[in-house]
Chains A and B, each alone.
Chain A
Amino acid sequence: MGPLAPLEIISGDWNLFLALIIGIAFGFVLEQAGFSSTRKLAGVFYGYDMVVLKVFFTAAVTGMLGLLYLSLFGWIDLNLTYVNPLYLGSTIAGGVIMGVGFIVGGFCPGTSVCAAAIGKIDAMVFVGGIFLGVFLFAELYPLIESFYMSGYLGSPKVFQSLGIRMGVFALLLTLVAVIMFIVAEKVEKFVNKGA
């Protein structure tokens, strides 16, 4: 039955229209979660507000379990869904640069759009910075290309990389997330008691 667009159950134009609707829901939930606040976002790195960790991992686990069950019921064919390709060098280096960008700028791209939408000037400037960063990458691309394409390992799934079964990994990740939530609640209480 799904995914609808790759199976051509819906047209390309419908897919773009639904992208807008999905985006509205995405932006609404991000803003309601408090992700339009740069100090809330930065809180995860200092322990005074762990909302990023709680929302992010709840969403990842919900998404993972939902997709697994939809696939088990035969409602979505996971062979037709996009799986991020793994290029060891650029995945790690890109992540490290983004990590520094997060702590320096206090947003990531999605949350900055959300915060800009409610009038945060710092978020608008952050979005401007993203455009500059993309432009810089594009202009330097000939120098970076060989590193960008290096360490290609296909599009492996994490349980294959670890050599365990999919269901076992899903259970382990869910348990790890629950333990992280318990620790996050304790860290928040501890840090804010001192303040």
Chain B
Amino acid sequence: MNPYIAGILLGLVLIASFFVSGRGLGASGAMKSSVVAVVNTVAPDYAAQDAFYSKYVQNGQKPLKAWLVFEVLGVLIGGFLSGAVSGRLKLGIEKGPRITDRRRLILALAGGLLFGFGSQLGRGCTSGSALTGMAILSSAGFLSMMAIFGTGFAVAYFFRKNWI
């Protein structure tokens, strides 16, 4: 799809999200809810008294009954449907031409770990903090966008062999 048309459609989805729920799109928040739910199931006493988890489980809150959890389930379905209509459903690993599958998977794990940690510290990821924050004109959104992409450009040179 033409990237500018895709961008306009994405912007319209973002507006719909604000109009319906008063908040924008997100992704990392759903992963946080999942981690909280797992810890709360495995070790409920620990979750109830821990400084981080207790924020999301007090007063009988159900961590998985959260707006972003439903939204990200939708992303999974929507991505699958799009892949199906465009003939892109295929198990496989995508990587730069000069690295092994093993290296790609280790880097993917490390990148995910950094993103998971950073999204909690920064109170949201590329969708929830940067994109949504920019649309609602929040200073935090602009700062977040500049920090993410600025750092990406600043360190890209050192990781070039993984991609080109």
A interface residue numbers (CB < 8 A to B): 2-6, 10, 15-34, 36-39, 42, 44-46, 48, 51, 54-64, 66-67, 70, 75-76, 78, 80-88, 90-123, 125-139, 141-142, 144-145, 148, 153, 155-161, 166, 169-170, 181
Contact = CB atoms under 8 A, between A and B. Distances in A.
B129 to A, nearest CB: 6
The binding surface of chain A is classed by DSSP as helix
A130 B115 contact: yes
Given A91-B140, A106-B111, A129-B109, A58 B79 contact: no
Residue of A56, A134, A153 contacting most chain B CB atoms (<10 Å): A134
Residue of B14, B19, B153 contacting most chain A CB atoms (<10 Å): B19
B77 A98 contact: no
Interface of B: 1, 3-4, 6-28, 31-32, 34-36, 39, 50-53, 65, 67-68, 70-83, 86, 88-96, 104-105, 107-156, 159-160, 162-164
Given A122-B104, A134-B32, A157-B138, A70 B19 contact: yes
Contact of B75 (A93, A110, A125): A110
Contact of B9 (A29, A42, A115): A29
A125 B112 contact: yes
A29 B82 CA distance: 8
Given A32-B82, A119-B90, A158-B137, A134 B110 contact: no
Nearest to A127: B112
A2 to B, nearest CB: 4
Nearest to A76: B19
A142 to B, nearest CB: 6
B4 A54 contact: yes
A170 B19 CA distance: 19
B87 to A, nearest CB: 10
Contact of A108 (B7, B52, B115): B115
27 contacts: A4-B19, A18-B21, A20-B73, A20-B74, A23-B77, A26-B13, A26-B71, A27-B82, A29-B82, A30-B78, A31-B82, A59-B11, A62-B12, A80-B22, A84-B123, A90-B123, A93-B118, A101-B114, A103-B152, A108-B115, A112-B112, A117-B77, A118-B90, A120-B92, A131-B116, A134-B31, A136-B116
